[in-house]
Structure 1
Amino acid sequence: MTTRNLAQNEQGTTMVEFAIIVVVLFTIVFGIIEFGVLLFDQHVLTNASREGARAAIVTRVPPLPDRYTHPVTGVGQGVIDIVEKYCQQHLVTFGDSTLPTTDVVRNGTSFGDDLVVTVTYPFSFLVLSNFGLGPITLSAVTRMKMEE
C-alpha cells in the first residue's frame, strides 16, 4: 500500500470521527445554552414575584387607580397584572405564549400581616426535549410583611 492510498483512507476516517464527535459537541453546547436560559428564567420569576409583592404591601394614600386593584377580585388581580407584565418583558420564551401562573395569599391587610406571592412557569427545552427532557416547572415564592 502506498503512502498516497493510506492518506486517502485516513481522510475518510477523519470525516467519520468528526461526524460522531460533532453530534456530541453540539449537544453539550446547546445543553449549556438551554440550562443558562433556564437559570435566567428562574431569576426573572423570582424578580417578578418580588415586584408583585412590593406593589401589594405598600399602603397608598390616596390609593392608586385600578392599575393595581381590580374592581372585582381586589388587590390580587393587580398583583397578577404586575407579575405578568414583568414576565412578558423579561422571560426568554422562544416564542411560546404561555404566561406564568401567579397566586397571591394575604393573611390580612394590617401592618405586619404576611403577603405571599407564588409564581410558577412551565419551562420547555428546545433541543434537549429530543432527549427525553420534558417541561420543568419553575417556581418562585416571595413573602413580605404589610407596611403602614
Structure 2
Amino acid sequence: MEFAIVAPLFFLLIFGMIEYGRMVMVQQVITNASREGARRAVLDGATTTGVVSAVNEILDSAAVDSDAADVIVSPDPPENAGFGGAVTVTVQIPFAKVSWLPSPMYLGSTTLEAKTAMRRETVQ
C-alpha cells in the first residue's frame, strides 16, 4: 500500500534525474565542441566547412547526434575577421533530439546552446 503511494513520486524523481543528467552532459559536450570549432576557426586558412566538421567530430565521438545540431560561424567565412578580430562559433541543439527518454518531461522545449569567441591568429 505504501509503495503504491510513493512509487509515482519515486519514478518521477528518477526520470527527472536522468533527464537533467543528460542535459548537463550534452551541454558540456556542445561547450567543448564550440571551443574546438573556434580553435579551428581562428587559424589561417580556416573554412566554415572545416569548422563545422570539427564540431561534428566532437559531437559524434560523444554520441550526440550531430545532424540535430546547428553550427553557426560568425563571420562566415571565418577569414573575414581581420587580424585579431573575433570569430564566434555557436552550437545549438534541441534537447528533445538528444534526450534518452522517448518524450522528455521537463526539458522537451529547451534548446541547449554553447557559444565560444576567439581572436584570429593571422599574420598582418
Unaligned runs of 5+ in 1: 1-15, 64-68, 70-74
Higher relative contact order (CA 8 A, sep 6+): 2
Separation in structure 2 between the aligned mates of residue 34 and residue 43 of structure 1, nearest angstrom:
14
Separation in structure 1 between the aligned mates of residue 110 and residue 23 of structure 2, nearest angstrom:
9
State the percentage of identical aligned residues: 38
Aligned length: 116
Unaligned runs of 5+ in 2: none
Query: 1:20 Cα shift?
Result: 2.1
Task: Answer whether contact 2:95 2:107 (CA < 8 A) is retained.
Answer: no
> Is 1:88 the equivalent of 2:60?
yes
> Is 1:17 the equivalent of 2:2?
yes
**TM-score normalised by L of structure 2:** 0.80
> Is 1:119 the equivalent of 2:104?
no
Query: 1:17 Cα shift?
Result: 2.1
Separation in structure 1 between the aligned mates of residue 64 and residue 56 of structure 2, nearest angstrom:
13
Structure of greater Rg: 1
Indicate the SS of the match to 1:58: coil
Superposed CA RMSD: 2.3
Q: Which amino acid aligns with 2:29?
A: V
Q: C-alpha offsets along residues 19-39 of structure 1, whole Å, 9 cap, x if unaligned?
A: 221121011012112101101
Separation in structure 2 between the aligned mates of residue 135 and residue 91 of structure 1, nearest angstrom:
21
